[in-house]
Structure 1
Amino acid sequence: MTSRQSRESVPDADDTLDAESAAIDTPVRGPAPVHRWGFGAFLLVEAVLLASAAFVGVLLGKPADGGPLPVWHVLIGTMAPTVIAASVAILITVVRGNGPLADLHLSWRWDDVRLGLRLGVVGLICTTVGAFVWTQAVGEENATSAISAMVEDQPMSVSAAVAMFLYLWLLGPICEEVIYRGLLWGAVERLNWGNEKWGRLAAFLISTAVFAVSHLEPLRTTLLLVIAVPIGLARFFTGRLLGSVVAHQMNNFLPALAILLTGLGVLTI
């Protein structure tokens, strides 16, 4: 071996140090953490949702004159059960899993936000067209959402209107996504579907259908399916919850704004 060959065969000390540093800095990715909750957890959360809605309804009672419920009663009756159920879902991931960040695939990524915004816009268009067609088919009185019907033509304070707007636009979608595209999605994917793609597809289809039915508005179920598809696609394409949360919030923005402006008397419909 010549001296030149000997020099070429011995790695440079700096190159060796760089290689070792890269090996240290590169994280070792193990398998995704497995949680110990499944459909039982989702059914428990649904039971909590229904039971808390019934309890809050009894607690608030009905007006003595048989008139419409006060706006704050509508707001509490809408918010409390969903927030309680989502809190139970998060607690389940802590007690029976690896916490909400790991089990519900919650992480901040700008790509997820951008995709959620795009699919949210698509959802708004689909919802607008679908709502128009549905209204023509079943009549305006049957196409109105339950919340809109309860606050329609009622005077609303600024604080109540803002609280309703923020819940429908921001908080409500977070809670619903935790329950349906988080807990239910994870329960479906946990089953043995043969491969990850089939599990994700099954989770998309089942969570979309259950989301629409769980609103307990039979006449609007078809419309809710149209609304749910772009939201579910955000979860399907990213594999994480943030995209569907953003898409849901984007989809809810205009309806929430309409209720806000109507409640404040700025808009009449």
Structure 2
Amino acid sequence: MIEIPQVVTIAGIDSSGGAGINADLKTFHNQRVYAATVVTGITAQNTQGVQAIEPTQADIILAQFKSIFTDLDITAAKTGALFDQIRVQAVIDGLHQFPVKHLVVDPVMVAKGGVPLLETAAIELVKYELIPLAEVITPNLAEAEVLLEREIKSDQEMERAAKDLQNLGAQNVLVKGGHQAGTLVRDLMLFADGTMTWYEAPRIATNRTHGTGDTLAAFIVAGLARDEDLAVIMPRAKMFMNQAIQETIRVGHGHGPLNHWVTGEK
């Protein structure tokens, strides 16, 4: 019998396989952790957009929590797309009923084109009830701007944003800078002890970046499930993401998926 870290992803299904639960499962498999799923919704989508969404009933979300946590030894979890206020509340209720040692919240709120994915009431729940449960939150700049209700442009503004997000209750805050212009992609991690670290990688000219946020959060969850220190996980996560984007695969005719077969090694 092989002991294996066990995790759960709480998110929606991407029918084209590139993002959401689909990206999480590929990342978890790559990182050799066993993954369960709480499905918050089903989407009809492809690399060119989302055509339809069917959220999961709240009682089914809670039933999935009960089935998983009363049987599996779940030590870490991540949240992704939660769709609306009903689904957000169901997930919060599930996490209160079945707490996890490590929780990573990817506050999916804004589509790549800038379209809001959560209404105001759901955002308030994420902000004041879900984020305080998190060991790590991983907003991109657009999501950080929604949470803080202000623009974030400069390095100094990213640093202030990280501190303000930490004040909402998250222990560690990763503000992803991929939406900024420039030849480098720069992400900022504010650790629980107040220290800050910037992580940089060359910007890769490609539109095959579907599922980057999900994949990065899942990589962090896998490391936490192995009881690795966050400061050790992050450089490896940045390397993995850079390689998964750089060594692109030809799938679809729009914003294609990452290459989840990469090793993340130099």
TM-score by length of 2: 0.25
Higher relative contact order (CA 8 A, sep 6+): 1
The structure in which a higher percent of residues are strand is: 2
TM-score by length of 1: 0.25
The structure with more radius of gyration: 1
